[in-house]
């Protein structure tokens, strides 16, 4: 087993920090909506969905972050992973931090009632999948071998 990506670095070589991907594209969608407002929800539904999605995403993300810290591994994808985390939300999703960010993104789009932002979410998920998750999974397979493959076989990528 190797300890990293094809560049010899002990990290997955992601294209950008995932929070930056989510925030950057959300910002672009919100800006587009500001320039040309395009609501897609009723005012009541916007309020009812927005904050619960944001709070749920924050809670899931913080729980995942806490479990990574508890396991003694790095949260930052530019630093080496030292352990496969299987406790807490990692028991039902391999990517609780990204699921949390997607929930926050959805909640912000709903609360702003911004159709352009909402329509960009699939693009965000595609970029994160290709530029972050697939690279992380290759890295973890190379670094942890069968241990990671067993985990990957038991727990879904998203939910």
Residue among 25, 21, 19 at smallest CA distance from 114: 25
Apex 122 CA angle, 120 and 33, nearest 5: 15
User: What does the pLDDT read at residue 11?
Assistant: 84
Residue 78 lies in a domain: yes
**Rounded CA separation 39/148 (Å):** 43
Residue 29 lies in a domain: no
Residue 15 lies in a domain: no
Ordered per-residue pLDDT tens for the chain, 159 residues: 444 445 568 889 899 999 999 999 999 999 999 999 999 999 999 999 999 999 999 999 999 999 999 999 999 999 999 999 999 999 999 999 999 999 999 999 999 999 999 999 999 999 999 999 999 999 999 999 999 999 999 999 998
Model confidence, pTM: 0.92
Residue 11 token pair:
């990290």
Residue 38 lies in a domain: no
**Rounded CA separation 105/21 (Å):** 11
């Amino acid at each position: 087993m190797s300890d990293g990506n094809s560049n010899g670095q002990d990290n997955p070589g992601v294209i950008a920090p995932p929070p930056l991907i989510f925030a950057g594209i959300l910002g672009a969608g919100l800006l587009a909506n500001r320039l040309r407002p395009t609501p897609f929800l009723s005012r009541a539904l916007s309020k009812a969905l927005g904050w619960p999605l944001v709070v749920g995403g924050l809670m899931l993300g913080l729980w995942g972050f806490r479990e990574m810290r508890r396991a003694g591994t790095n949260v930052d994808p530019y630093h080496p992973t030292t352990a496969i985390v299987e406790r807490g939300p990692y028991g039902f999703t391999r990517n609780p931090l990204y699921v949390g960010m997607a929930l926050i993104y959805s909640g912000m789009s709903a609360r702003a009632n911004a159709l352009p932002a909402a329509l960009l979410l699939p693009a965000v998920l595609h970029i994160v999948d290709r530029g972050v998750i697939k690279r992380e999974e290759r890295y973890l397979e190379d670094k942890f071998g069968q241990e990671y493959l067993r985990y990957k076989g038991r727990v879904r990528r998203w939910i």
